[in-house]
Amino acid sequence: MTAAPAPIAVALDAPDLDTAARWASQVTPHVSTVKVGLELYLRYGPDVVASVRGASRVQVFLDLKLHDIPATVAGATRAVARLRPTYLTVHAAGGPAMIRAAADAAPDTRIAAVTVLTSLNDADLAAIGLAGPASDAVLRLAALSVDAGARALVCSPQEAAAVRAEVGPDITLITPGVRPAGAATQDQARVATPEDALAAGADLLVIGRPITGAADPGAAAATIAATLRRNTAPTP
């Protein structure tokens, strides 16, 4: 029996469209979702979504982190909703009216509100004038976003348990900053292993370079997926 795809969104931060499509085809037997970020989308436009989706039924996570006045975000959301992304990100800091505008504009897409970027630490928050610590800021923005209609939240795995307790079981928690044990953290400040992220309450793990930077991205995805299945299987 074929194993179900792991709850992983592979970040396709590729230098060109062909590479992104190749990575997607290699990882989709093993993961549930592929993530298209801002750089790739701006370079190739809507065509990138069809290219990475291919003939598979993989979910597409369109990570554009929209942040503008409500009318502009509503228009942008309607423009990309026709691509049928499962998830579309907006910045929670845009406020409740903006989040509501996005949710209303794309009722068939899960609007995922980004709380605090995983590259930021408490000193960064203080520098931009956002009351911290990061864990408190995340909880405030999470509650605001769900009240405004967001059906998913993006937070670091370090805050996942607290966010889950705050928003309940029906909101999808997406955690970037996920690194297998021993992998370099690179530009992420608040990280955890895949196993720890799931244990904390995450539903979807964003993993990029540990998979796409491997010599064989498909094999790397398969290895992480198998490790997750072993470590999260119920005890007989």
Distance CA 224, CA 174 (A): 17
202 close to 160: Cβ distance less than 8 angstroms? yes
Q: How far apart are CA 110 and CA 221, in angstroms?
A: 24
Residue 233: is it exposed, middle or buried by C-beta count within 10 angstroms (0-12/13-18/19+)? Answer: exposed
**Helix pair 96-105, 134-147: axis angle to 10 deg:** 50
35 is catalytic: no
**DSSP conformation class of 95:** -
Among 19, 38, 44, 65, which one carries the catalytic annotation? Answer: 65
Q: How far apart are CA 89 and CA 99, in angstroms?
A: 10
For residue 133, cis peptide bond before it (omega within 30 degrees of 0): yes
pLDDT in tens, 122-133: 888 889 888 878
Do 199 and 222 contact (CB within 8 A), yes or no?
no
**pTM of the shown model:** 0.89
Residue 236 confidence class, pLDDT cut points 50, 70, 90: very low
Q: Higher pLDDT residue, 56 or 65?
A: 65
